[in-house]
Structure 1
Amino acid sequence: LFPQIPSIILGAKRNPLRVCLIFRSITSFSDNNFDLPDRTFHSLTTTWNLASRDSPTDVKELIPEFFCLPEIFENFERFDFGVRQNGERVEDVQLPPWCLRDSRLFVLIHRQALEAELTRNHLHNWIDLIFGYKQSGESAVEAINVFHPA
């Protein structure tokens, strides 16, 4: 990904979480809009493709709400997030077919995955990457957990 720096694997630090509750109050400072519709969180498939394949600097993690709050995927207030460049209006987050595009089923499946034996057996590896000894140094390089310095 970064040929000039061979040990760099990831283009950015993880989870640039935005606090969406403040967006509503600051829209008056941004042409009364939230953001460009194409940059909003509108599709799980698009977000997954960007984070896993298409953009080395678009690093994300699942926030806790993915495991307990199906309402985060539904635009109950009917805020106008605009129209994307392809003509598609941004409304509820588009969920993948494997959950039948149902937000409650999506959260249920995520809970089941979080509580699965495979997750229990490997969760310590993630903790080592994020909070432990694989954050820096040779252990980080070996674990492919090195960020671009910019």
Structure 2
Amino acid sequence: GNTGNENGIMSRLQIPADSVNNIAVSAYGYLEGKKISASYDSIGPGREGNKMKPDLVDYGGYGGSDYLEAVGSYGYNSNECVGTSFSAPLVTRKLGLLMWKYPSLSVLDVRALVAHYAALNFSVKERNIFYDGKGGIK
């Protein structure tokens, strides 16, 4: 979600993003050449049981000088955009490629592999877990 700029509880991940059986994706961008959590990102942890959410992070732009270009359908104008709507498809593509490369893997297998990969590469020093969750996948 993109509610990170809201106040208090309104900045938290909303239903269904904080459910156990999905993969919640947050976004990062670049500010002055440094990779940072996007300010618009909804934050974790998830609700009941304080599930570690979001699960993964990928590029979604930051704004200002770091944004994505999108072409609109009305007049085909170029628009400067940022958001988790851009980071989530990048993660989905990586997971899809993994399933294509290893067709014997089920969706649950891939989910488990990603969770374990992120856990093994987790560093509290490198990221704010309430924004970036467990981290990214390459």
How high is the TM-score relative to the length of structure 1?
0.20
Normalized per residue, the structure richer in helix is 1
Normalized per residue, the structure richer in strand is 2
How high is the TM-score relative to the length of structure 2?
0.21
